[in-house]
């Protein structure tokens, strides 16, 4: 491995850094999505009945006990209780956008690695080929075929390394993106449920506020 890094030169080191960064982002996002979905499921089970009966004080307490995207959206909505429905809906939408942004954090970086790693590989190969042909020129064309082949395969190392990083990162990026869309879809659905509950409670003057 160390020998390959040495043969690939500085570009190979840059590709290695990209691979470490990609792996870090992938593992962090997967853990975040998994833990977020689990917390949301536990939270929704606890809060549904409370919200239905308009016990907003208990709802707020539950939101603080179970921090998750849905809880933060509900807290934003509760801050607007007493205002008209447009203000509540706007608060829910803004909170939803903030949560989507949190979930998508570093995904742009992952996409950059997908497109950048192969380009780094091609750059390394181009530089390697230039160096190989410079050596041929310096020897006046008297180069053994095996020596030429050795120079070429060393130059191709970075292309292979760049693609090796980019391909699995692309699959991981698309998979994580689909999971983020799934969570965001659940948030949108739950947000509509919250809005409906607040609407029903607002139209029922006998519903307790605490």
Q: Which pLDDT value is given to residue 147?
A: 59
Of 160, 145, 150, 143, give the one whose Cα is nearest residue 129: 150
- pLDDT band, residue 161 (cuts 50/70/90): very high
Does residue 90 register a pLDDT over 70? yes
Domain locations in the chain?
A: 2-202
pLDDT at 149: 64
- Neighbouring C-alpha atoms within 13 Å toward the C-beta of 101: 6
* Amino acid 21: pLDDT: 96
Q: For residue range 24-73, what is the model confidence (pLDDT) as tens digits?
A: 999 999 999 998 888 888 888 788 777 776 677 888 888 888 888 888 88
| Residue tagged 């509950």 (tokens) | 197
Inter-residue long-range contacts of 22-27, CB under 8 Å, 24+ positions, other chains counted = 22/110, 22/113, 22/117, 22/165, 22/169, 22/172, 25/106, 25/107, 25/109, 25/110, 26/110, 26/169, 26/172, 26/176
């Amino acid at each position: 491995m160390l020998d390959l890094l040495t043969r690939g030169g500085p570009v190979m080191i840059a590709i290695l850094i990209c691979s470490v960064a990609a792996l870090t982002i992938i593992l962090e996002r997967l853990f975040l999505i998994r833990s977020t979905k689990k917390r949301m499921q536990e939270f929704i089970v606890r809060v549904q009945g409370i919200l239905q009966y308009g016990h907003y004080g208990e709802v707020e307490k539950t939101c603080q006990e179970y921090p998750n995207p849905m809880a933060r959206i509900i807290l934003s909505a509760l801050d607007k209780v007493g205002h008209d429905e447009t203000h509540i809906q706007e608060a829910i939408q803004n909170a939803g956008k903030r949560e989507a942004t949190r979930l998508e954090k570093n995904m742009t970086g992952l996409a950059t690695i997908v497109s950048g790693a192969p380009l780094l590989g091609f750059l390394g190969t181009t530089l390697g080929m230039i160096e190989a042909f410079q050596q041929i020129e310096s020897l006046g064309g008297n180069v053994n075929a095996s020596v030429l082949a050795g120079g070429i395969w060393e130059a191709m190392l970075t292309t292979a390394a760049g693609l090796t990083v980019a391909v699995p990162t692309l699959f991981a990026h698309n998979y994580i993106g689909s999971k983020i869309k799934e969570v965001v879809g659940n948030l949108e659905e739950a947000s509509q449920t919250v809005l409906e509950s607040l609407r029903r409670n607002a139209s029922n003057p006998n519903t307790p506020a605490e």
